[in-house]
Amino acid sequence: METKIIVLTPVKNEAWILDLFLKITSQFADHILLADQHSTDATLEIASKYAKVIVIENKNQAYDEAYRQQLLIEKARELFPTNKRIFIALDADEIISADGIQSQDWETIRSTPINTTLYFEKPDLYLSTDKTIRYETNFWPLGFVDDVSTNHEAQLIHSIRVPQSEQKVYLNTIKFLHLAYLRPNIQRAKFRFYTVKENVAKVNPWYRRRKWYRSPNHLVQHATVVETPTSWLNYTDGKLLDAVKDTNETWHNLNILENLQKHGSVRFWFDDIWDIDWQKYQQQFDPTAATKITPPPALLRFVLRLFDKIYQ
């Protein structure tokens, strides 16, 4: 039975990083499945340049991690029914380290029996490629040696990406470098998006949302910032990650605006999203909009900041 390493990746407006992701990922993957959710940038054009890429359409209008993960897994099983399938579930901003591409761990992975979950370290490059956030425990279930009888139990947000098994293998030499914190403005927008999403879905109380998604970024309080090992970035094409640029333009903020318009401002007063003037932001995109977006009163904001200091 031929073994296939199949990377499963959801995408939505990932043109900023997709070319880099596909160029590097193609070096270890046999196939790359992209589930595109209504991208409006050059995502599909970039994907079409890579022979190993298969694009499937995520028709869902809503943000739903469970739906897109199941979509990718089912499609991989449909396309490669007679192969031993090894799923590696990555976001587009998660790039394998240079020294991981030819790692002996791939032989371990290929020989691992079916119904095994694979765990990898996922360090965060922090503000530049020179620094990295590493955690005491940072092995993520990003891979699965597929057994079609194993169901994937997923959730709406922050879902585990692959089926879980009692059989686990931890890989030490393959790192997937998370690039999100090379773009702090976008990461901040994601934090706002997550807290709004959880508010609407009623999956977390407000005080936990403030703890997990507060501004400024708090990861360094729970980890160690170290020099990035040069072996991680020693790609044959040179300093590829230098192309990563930050911006303030992202679909996450537009989604937040839609929720403020739909549900009203007061519902989100306890969420840490008010570092943006949403009324002004609304006027930039729709000067005729009649929705009044009112930030929380100054006294409430003061009390919440005080609460944050005590609670943290």
- Tens-of-pLDDT digits for all 312 residues of the chain? 799 999 999 999 999 999 999 999 999 999 999 999 999 999 999 999 999 999 999 999 989 999 999 999 999 999 999 999 999 999 999 999 999 999 999 999 999 999 999 999 999 998 888 999 988 778 999 999 999 888 899 988 889 999 999 999 999 999 999 998 889 889 899 999 999 999 999 989 999 999 888 765 555 566 788 999 999 999 876 666 776 788 888 899 999 999 999 999 999 999 999 999 999 999 998 888 889 999 999 999 999 999 888 876
Query: Residue 215: what pLDDT?
Result: 66
Nearest by Cα to 54 from 72, 38, 33, 71: 33
Query: Would you state the structure tokens that stand for residue 46, as one six-digit string?
Result: 């970039």
Q: With contact defined as beta carbons under 8 Å apart, do 8 and 33 qualify?
A: yes
Q: With contact defined as beta carbons under 8 Å apart, do 246 and 184 qualify?
A: yes
Query: Residue 148: what pLDDT?
Result: 87
Query: Residue 161: what pLDDT?
Result: 96
Query: Residue 277: what pLDDT?
Result: 95
Q: What is the rounded distance in angstroms from the CA atom of residue 269 to the CA atom of residue 117?
A: 40
Domain borders along the chain are: 3-180, 183-214+247-311
Nearest by Cα to 206 from 262, 157, 256, 269: 269
Nearest by Cα to 217 from 190, 243, 241: 190
The domain made up of 3-180 has a fold known as: Spore Coat Polysaccharide Biosynthesis Protein SpsA; Chain A (3.90.550)
Give, rounded to a whole angstrom, the gap between the first and last alpha carbons of the chain. Answer: 52
Nearest by Cα to 4 from 57, 76, 104, 55: 76
How many degrees, rounded to 5, is the angle at CA 143 between CA 142 and CA 146? 145
CB-based contacts of 258-264 (< 8 A; 24+ apart in sequence): 259/196, 259/200, 260/291, 260/293, 261/289, 261/291, 261/293, 263/200
Cβ neighbors of 54 (< 8 A, separation 6 or more) are 31, 32, 33, 34, 75, 79
Q: Give the burial class of 83: count Cβ atoms within 10 A of its Cβ; 0-12 exposed, 13-18 middle, 19 or more buried.
A: middle
Helix ranges restricted to H, the chain: 15-25, 43-47, 65-79, 105-111, 184-201, 206-212, 251-263, 278-285, 298-311
**Residue carrying structure tokens 């709406």:** 156
Q: What is the rounded distance in angstroms from the CA atom of residue 21 to the CA atom of residue 197?
A: 27
Query: Residue 218: what pLDDT?
Result: 53
The model carries a pTM of: 0.89
278 CB-side CA count, 13 A:
26
